Every structure is written in C-alpha cells, then in structure tokens.
Structure 1
Amino acid sequence: MSVMARGGHATVYRATQDSVGREVAIKMENRRLESDRDQVRFLREARAAGKMSSHPHVVDLFDVGVTVDQHPYLIMELCDGSYLERMRRSPLAATEASDLGIKIADALVHSHANGVLHRDVKPANILYSHFNSAVLADFGLAVLGEMRDSSVNLEVLTPAYAPPESFRHDSPTGAVDVYALCATLYAVMHGRPPRWGSGHSPSLITLMNLFSEPIPDIPGVPRELTQVLRYGMDNDPAARPTAEQLRDLLTKVDVEGTTRPYVPPPRYGGSDDTPTVRHQLKQSKKRWFLGLLGIEHR
C-alpha cells in the first residue's frame, strides 16, 4: 500500500484487493470517531450512500468501515485523476464542461431521488479514468464534515463551491448540490471558482460579501451556458433549478454555437428593486429557463 494523496482531513492510499487482484483506492479520515454514536452514524450514512454506486457516474464504493484505532475509511475504485488537476493544467472547453455537467447532474438526480445529498460537490470530488470520463466521489463523507471542529481553516473547507445558506448552517437540501455543481462547471472552464480571485482564500467576512457580486461571463463560453450556471448559483435556494432541471437545461444548450438569437433572462435592480418587483422578476427569470425546456411555469 502506498500514499497517493495527503490532505487536511484524509489520506488516500493505493492498494491491491488480494481476493480479486484489483487495485483500489482507500480514503482514510485523519481524525478518529471515538464515540459509538459517531461510528454508527458514519456507517449508516456511508452505506446508504453506497447505493449510489449503481449509477454510471458515481464512483464504485466497495466497502466502508472503521479501523481498530477508530479511523473511518472508504474502499473505492481507483481513478486516474480529478477535475481539480485538469482545470489547473488547462481549463475545459464549453463542450466538455457541459457534458461533464450533464453526467454529474444525472448522478445527483439519482441520489436526490433516493434521499441522499452529496453536500461537497467540487472539482476535486469529480474523478475520471480510462473507462469513465466523470464519476462523483465521496458520497457519505458529508456526515464527517458535520462532526469536525467548526474552526477549521476555510481553505481546507473549500468554501468556493458552497452556497450562502451553508454558512448560515441551514438544513441542507438538494439546492446545495445544484449550486456546487454549477460553481464547479464555471471553475473548470474559468480556471478558478466564480467571484474568486487568483490569490489566497478570502476571510469569512469577505467571502460572504462576494455573494452580492455579479458572476462575470467567461471568454469563449456561450452566454446561454453561463446564464444556466448563474441560474443554478442563485443566492436563493428556492430559485435554483432542481438537479433534473439543471441536467435538462444543460442538454438543451448548444455549446457548439447556437443559431437562435440570444435572449437574456430578465434582470432586476435599480429604482424598482423592491421585494415585490424582485419576486415578480425572479418568477419571470424562472419562466425563461423553464421555457428552454418546453415546460410551462405555473
């Protein structure tokens, strides 16, 4: 067994499963689960998440457990790399990013239908191999994040892909995964997360202020695709599409160069920026996006 990667929360090992002679990845949490309650909760959540492995774009999870010295671990398929590494080498073109989004959104449709949230979608958790261009990893590990010390460093928590409600400690919903996937797709095309500077991670106060800033266009990326991603990154979780709607919107966007005229969605702001006007325009924006799917908004 050899170390593949070592991070603030976990260490990933490359190993061979002797019984079948295949190489696997073992992700072991650095901290211990010292109480029986935490161990039982981790095993319950991880095994429930293991059901997601039947989806072609979810990493195969072979086993979960807790070591004798109380470190939780996952044994999963061995992949070649992550999209964090890919975007650092060279940002993805719109066609590849759109295809990536469709596949991972479909995995989220499957998980949400089974009552399982991922809660940590980001480029580092989307892997690829020679046999599969995109698989979502780390289902079941969100429960460990809830058990960690809340004072851990922001950079370790990768807040760049988390929606504003995550910092308010609201109960998570599927809208968290939708936001994170859209932020991920933006990042793999842009080279860094939306609104994120090229320097160090911002402070928590600066980070919260970033949510009020607009999300810029990406040179060379169709505006319609960027608008879909903005829709999925709405600060209001109720205004975001579902994972299913996001998948279908990405399928509808012609990233190779649409011939239809671009019609921007409604915008709000200015002197009429009242709660009533904002609500009306938000509904108009939702009708605009659902219209792309041929769905009548009621």
Structure 2
Amino acid sequence: MTDLRKFARGGYATIYRATQISVDREVAIKVENRALGDDRDRARFLREARAASRMSSHPHVVDLFDVGVTADGHPYLIMELCDGSYANRGPLPAGQVRSVGIKIADALADAHAEQVLHRDVKPANILYSKFNEAVLADFGLAVLAEMRDPNVTLEVLTPAYAPPEMFRASRPSAAVDVYALCATLYAMLRGKPPRWDNDRNPSLLTIMDMFNQPIPDLPNVPGELTAVLRRGMANEPGSRPSAEQLRDMLYEVRLPSGGANPYPNPRPETHHAPQNRPPRQPGRVYHGDTYTPPRPPHGDPHPTVPNPGFRSWFRRLMGS
C-alpha cells in the first residue's frame, strides 16, 4: 500500500484512503480504534471476518479484499473505495429508497442463508458509487460489537436503528437486521430515524418508550411502502418478515408512475426474468429476478454448473 491518508474517523474506526500498488487501484482501509485484548480475540476476529467476507461476492455487498490485525492489535479491513454513504442524504424519493431496499434486503437474505448476521445496518453502512447504487458495508466488523460488550449496551448499538430486543440483551437474530434495514429505509424517506425528533441519543428509558409510539405515514410516500416498513419494524421479532420476504414485499409495492423508480409497474422487459416467470419457490435466494442455485457444500470437488459438457471439461481440468 502507498499514499495512505485519513479519509474519515468515527467512534470505533478510522478509515484511510490508499493505493494498492500491485493492481494500481484506490482502496479504503478501515482500522478499528480499539485493540483486541489477546491472541484468542485476534484469532476469533480473523475467523469470523473471513467467514463474513464470503458475503462480498454478492453484487450489493462491498468488496472485501483482505482482513488482518496490526502489530499493536488493531483489526483492519481492506475494501473497495466508494463515493459516499446514505447518512444524512434524506429525504429521498420513494422510488429510490425502494430500489435500495430491494438490493440490501437481497444481500441480507444471502447472508442469512449462510448463517451470517450483519448487526449494524444503518444509512452510514449503505454506500454508493458511480457503478452501484447501493452496497452494504461492514460485515467483517460485526463480531467486534460482541467483543466489546457481550451484554450489548447503548455504547455498542446504533440506538436509532436497533430493535427493542437488543436493549434487553437478547441474542441477535436475522430479525435484528430486518428491523434495522426497515428503520434505515424509513430514515431515508423521512430525513431522520423513525420516532426520533433530533440527532441526540435519548436515554434508555426514553428509547424503550419510543417503541410504544406509532410509526406515522410520510408525505409523498405511498402508504403501501410505509406499511411494509412498519411491518418490518414490528416490536416482536417473530412478527417481522424474513429478509427474503421483505425483498419480495418491497418489489411488489406499486409506486405512482414517474419519478426515480428503476422497478416500474408493469415490470420492464429488460429484466432477466421471462415475462411470465414462474412463482418464486420458498427457501430459494434470488438476486434481482435471477434464481441462484444453492451453493455446493464446502469441499465439494464438483460444483454445480449449468452445462453438462462444461462439467466434464471442468472435471478433466481439475484432474478428477
């Protein structure tokens, strides 16, 4: 790496901009401000971060190039450099928010199928570039929240986007990511998080009381879209849709014609799915309109390929 320069600094990490010499490209290096305690914590971070890095193959997850720990114990991630995040960008048009929601829900559905949770979905972790409208960042740092405080306190959480069970120190589940994404999308529509009146973090008692307040409709936002987000922010985790269901629910929301809507109704013929596509099968993960077959188990020497002739060629190439 060369040309290392500070790009941004937050409460838990500092982001640097650098040039990767081997391929002459600019990258972002995110370095955790706090050092890991011992070798066991370092090994755990590397194990979990590498597992989470599998998610970066999804088109709407930030490309993660490498992970590691500095000599003085600070975890770091090397990832693609994006133009910015959706923090403080609202209010945004309903069509744009819906499009972002479909993409990020699809990324979460893929992660949850791999038993990986994000645990910190928020506008600051949804990035964009000139090539991609929305990519989810920070899968590799999710485990650090647990390392800091296994009881999950306000210091660890992003309170504006955390569901009520996280304030009761409940074990994180996929429903946490669904709540956080819906709260994020609502904030992008409203310009501030749901139920919050300002940017200051209220007390724990105030936050718990907020969960009893209704989530109102928003001007110039279709009620159908708000209803989907409201369901995703249900106080009971079991009442929320899965990430896959949320993606499909957002897809089915009908928006008024015109405006920033990359998924107009009826569906444009430029999409990959046939005009009369079969119904989606439960349990399958779809990327946009394209079904991705289940991944083969780790260690399977014969991954699934669509063409039998190609399969034979691949096996000969691998010497099997």
TM-score (norm 1): 0.83
Matches of 1:155 and 1:130 in 2, distance apart? 34
Contact 2:152/2:166, CA 8 A, preserved across alignment: no
**Which residue in the other structure is 2:212 paired with?**
212
In structure 2, what is the equivalent of residue 186 of structure 1?
186
Decide whether aligned partners of structure 1 residues 156 and 33 sit closer, same or farther in structure 2, where only a CA change above 3 A counts: closer
Partners of 2:27 and 2:81 within 8 A in 1: yes
Give the unaligned 5+ runs of structure 2: 259-278, 283-320
CA distance in 1, matches of 2:214, 2:51: 38
Aligned to 1:14, what secondary structure does the other structure show? strand
Deviation at 1:227, TM superposition (A): 0.3
How big is the shift at 1:80?
A: 0.2
Matches within 5 A, 1:126-275: 126-149=126-149, 154=154, 157-256=157-256
Distance 1:68 1:10 in 2: 16
What SS does the aligned partner of 1:84 have? coil
CA distance in 2 between counterparts of 1:228 and 1:118 reads: 21
CA drift of 1:153 comes to 8.5
Structure showing the higher helix proportion among its residues:
1
Moved more, 153-162 or 75-84: 153-162
2:7 equivalent in structure 1: 4
Corresponding residue number in structure 2 for 1:38:
41
The reply on whether 1:58 has 2:49 as its aligned counterpart is no
Partner of 2:79 in structure 1? 76
Secondary structure (helix, strand or coil) at the match of 1:33 reads coil
1:35–1:130 CA distance, 2 compared to 1 (3 A): same
Q: 1:61-140 counterparts in 2 under 5 A? A: 61-87=64-90, 91-140=91-140
Deviation at 1:157, TM superposition (A): 3.5
Aligned to 1:265: none
Contact 1:155–1:201 (CA under 8 A) maintained in structure 2 = no
Alignment of 1:273-292 (within 5 A): none
**Deviation of the 1:151 alpha carbon:** 9.9
CA contact (8 A) 2:37 2:73 kept: yes
Shift of 1:154: 4.1
Does the CA-based 8 Å contact 1:8-1:156 persist in structure 2?
no
Q: How far apart are residue 16 of structure 1 and its match?
A: 0.5
Distance 2:24 2:216 in 1: 49
Q: Provide Cα deviations, 1:205-262, integer angstroms capped at 9, x if missing partner.
A: 100110000001111100010000000000000010000110000000012269xxxx
Q: Distance in 2 between matches of 1:152 and 1:236?
A: 18
Query: Residue 60 of structure 2 aligns to which amino acid in structure 1?
Result: H
Shift in Å, 1:200: 1.7
* Alpha-carbon distance between aligned partners in 2 of 1:112 and 1:153, rounded to the nearest angstrom: 24
Cα distance in 2 for residues equivalent to 1:227 and 1:212? 17
Contact 2:56–2:63, Cα closer than 8 Å, also in 1: yes
Measure the CA separation in 2 of the matches of 1:196 and 1:80: 27
* Alignment-derived partner of residue 269 in structure 2: none
Confirm or deny: 8 A CA contact 1:95 1:256 kept in the other structure.
no
Residue 156 of structure 1 deviates from its aligned partner by 7.0
Counterpart secondary structure, 1:3: strand
CA deviations on 1:249-290 (whole Å, 9 max, x unpaired) are 0000012269xxxxxxxxxxxxxxxxxxxxxxxxxxxxxxxx
Q: TM-score, normalised by structure 2?
A: 0.77
Alpha-carbon distance in structure 2 between the residues aligned to 1:151 and 1:175:
18
CA distance in structure 2 between the partners assigned to 1:86 and 1:198 by the alignment: 15
- Are 1:222 and 1:257, in contact at CA under 8 Å, matched by a contact in 2? no
Rounded Cα–Cα distance in structure 2 between residues aligned with 1:174 and 1:65:
26
Q: CA deviation at 1:120?
A: 0.4
Alignment gaps of 5+ in structure 1: 259-292
Pick from 14, 34, 43 the counterpart of residue 17 of structure 2: 14
